[in-house]
Amino acid sequence: METNVYRSYMLYNYKQIPHISKITDDEREAIEVVGRVLPFKTNNYVINELINWDSIPNDPIFNLNFPCREMLLRRHYNLMKKTMDKNASQEEIARVIKRIRSELNPNPSGQEYNIPAVDGIELKGVQHKYRETVLFFPSQGQTCHAYCTFCFRWPQFSDMHNFKFAMKENELLVKYLKTHPKVTDVLFTGGDPMTMTAKIMASYIEPLLAEGMEHIQTIRIGTKSLAYWPYRFLTDNDADDVIQLFEKVIKSGKNLAIMAHFNHPVELSTEAVKQAIIRIRSTGAQIRTQSPLLKNINDNPDVWAEMWRKQVNLNCIPYYMFVERDTGAKQFFEVPLERCWNIFRKAYQSVSGVCRTVRGPSMSANPGKIQILGVTEVAGEKVFVLRFLQGRDPDWAARPFFAKYDAKATWLNQLKPAFGEEKFFYEDELNHIKKK
């Protein structure tokens, strides 16, 4: 291998990083202040292999990992800074952190409506929003190898217990799945399930291969580990066990899909990630890729086209381009919907059909995944053309609908129906579903 092989995963307090001299005093202050509110964590691979320290603070991976001042609203930043400067008690600091976090929309898209129950017991680590697919949040996987500054799951890593999805009661999941024969997919998510040991992963996955689970055809694992810690599949102590577990799933006759999160082509450029992809693919597992479109990180059609081409080159399947969710540091990352569509369109136009398995830009909003098909004019009115890729009601999928054009809109809640209509076609039913 050309690049370093890390056999041990090292976490850094930012003050210990070898490149600290490149971070200005002002930036250090921001890491301290913003890092109190949004969780911060980085590791040796990200620092040494992915970040280009000659281009900070504008390096995309630096922005993906290190908090900066603009990631908080000015009033939140000032409040946090003032509280820290006056040597407030731990309790007061904690109160301020909690207050700021509560104003950052910690639970976007009404996820609480997705929690099902078995025998009257709420499954706190399960979300079942779309008929075919159940999300599972294993307790031991609710952390990541490094934290993204754009993360929409940040309450999973903060002490915000009301907003945390997690459970370790595998029997309840199995019981739920047995009584839901229409579910074909179980998606392990987090955090990052690949932070679990192979042994714990097996304890969750193997029961899904057993008798009575024939309807579960696809097991998916949502993970950022290929981008942040590819050694999970190469040199970690139980890397071989992970690979054997994947082989076991494939041998059982099910599809195994690694839903890999890549936000920038740099993450696909090291020897380690290439080897990790080859190793995963050798098991028969597929790798599908997804990412939000993020200002200051990847808001450029060339970056996306390069990313999709590299992915296809490496035998991965481009899957989703998301619109940045309305939570956390959204003002730093958000891109107006029209610009999202333009970036998608230009990138899509410049790649061949094998990359066009990607769908987007898509908003994962309360009613479902809504794709922006484009901006056009209908009967003299400028409109957004939209459609559901996934809906709380399966019947909503693939129906075009229209919203009034709005140059500034960055999220569904800012859109109004076109042609003077009072509501979108799905709204009555959505209200009905929510009341249930």
Ligand X SMILES: *Cc1c(COP(=O)(O)O)cnc(C)c1O
- Amino acid identity, position 226: L
DSSP for 58-119, please give it: S-HHHHHHS--GGGS-HHHHHHHHHHHHTT--HHHHHHHHHHHHHTT-SSGGGGGGG--EET
Find out whether the peptide bond into 120 is cis, omega within 30 degrees of 0. no
If binding is defined by CB under 6 A, does position 183 make contact with ligand SF4? no
Out of ligand X, ligand SF4, none, which partner does residue 135 contact, by CB within 5 to 8 A per kind? Answer: ligand X
Task: Pick one of 36, 76, 129, 153: the residue that binds ligand SF4 (CB under 6 A).
Answer: 153
Residue 308, Cβ density class (10 Å: 0-12 exposed, 13-18 middle, ≥19 buried): buried
Beta bridge partners of 222: 259
What is the H or E stretch that residue 301 is in?
helix 301-313
Q: Interaction with ligand X in 390-409: which residues (CB under 6 A)?
A: 390
- Tell me the two tokens of residue 106: 């910690």
DSSP for 210-269, please give it: STT-TT--EEEEEE-HHHH-GGGGTTSTTHHHHHHHHHHHHHTT-EEEEEEE--SGGGG-
Under a CB-based contact definition with an 8 Å cutoff, are residues 264 and 60 in contact?
yes
Out of ligand SF4, ligand X, none, which partner does residue 390 contact, by CB within 5 to 8 A per kind? Answer: ligand X
Stretch that binds ligand SF4, among 187-195, 232-240, 249-257, 420-428 (CB under 6 A): 187-195
What is the H or E stretch that residue 293 is in?
strand 286-293
Stretch that binds ligand X, among 1-9, 125-133, 223-231, 415-423 (CB under 6 A): 125-133
Q: How many residues make contact with ligand X (CB under 6 A)?
A: 10
- Tell me the two tokens of residue 422: 């009072």
Out of ligand SF4, ligand X, none, which partner does residue 191 contact, by CB within 5 to 8 A per kind? Answer: ligand SF4
If binding is defined by CB under 6 A, does position 355 make contact with ligand SF4? no
Residue 364, CB-side half-sphere exposure with 13 Å CA sphere: 18
Out of ligand SF4, ligand X, none, which partner does residue 130 contact, by CB within 5 to 8 A per kind? Answer: ligand X
Out of ligand X, ligand SF4, none, which partner does residue 127 contact, by CB within 5 to 8 A per kind? Answer: ligand X
| Beta strand pairing call for 117-118 and 121-122 | antiparallel
Stretch that binds ligand X, among 123-131, 174-182, 221-229, 373-381 (CB under 6 A): 123-131
Q: How many residues make contact with ligand SF4 (CB under 6 A)?
A: 10
- Tell me the two tokens of residue 208: 């899904």
Q: Interaction with ligand SF4 in 245-264: which residues (CB under 6 A)?
A: 261
Q: Interaction with ligand SF4 in 205-224: which residues (CB under 6 A)?
A: 224
Residue 9 phi, psi dihedral angles, 5° rounding = -85, 125
Stretch that binds ligand X, among 63-71, 98-106, 124-132, 401-409 (CB under 6 A): 124-132
Q: How far apart are CA 299 and CA 264, in angstroms?
A: 10
The minimum distance between CB 133 and ligand X, in angstroms, equals: 4
Q: How far apart are CA 106 and CA 159, in angstroms?
A: 12
For the four alpha carbons of 75, 77, 83 and 89, in that order, the dihedral sign comes to: positive
If binding is defined by CB under 6 A, does position 262 make contact with ligand X? no
If binding is defined by CB under 6 A, does position 322 make contact with ligand SF4? no
If binding is defined by CB under 6 A, does position 277 make contact with ligand SF4? no
If binding is defined by CB under 6 A, does position 127 make contact with ligand X? yes
If binding is defined by CB under 6 A, does position 48 make contact with ligand X? no
If binding is defined by CB under 6 A, does position 364 make contact with ligand X? yes
Give whichever of 3 and 357 is closer to ligand X, judged by the CB atom: 357
If binding is defined by CB under 6 A, does position 187 make contact with ligand SF4? no
Site string for ligand X, 128-167 (x = CB under 6 A): -xx--x-x--------------------------------
If binding is defined by CB under 6 A, does position 257 make contact with ligand X? no
Residues 6+ apart with CB under 8 A from 98: 160
If binding is defined by CB under 6 A, does position 291 make contact with ligand X? no
If binding is defined by CB under 6 A, does position 144 make contact with ligand SF4? yes
The minimum distance between CB 324 and ligand SF4, in angstroms, equals: 11
Binding site for ligand SF4 (CB under 6 A): 144, 147-148, 151, 153, 190-192, 224, 261
Q: Which residues bind ligand X (CB under 6 A)?
A: 127, 129-130, 133, 135, 187, 364, 369, 389-390
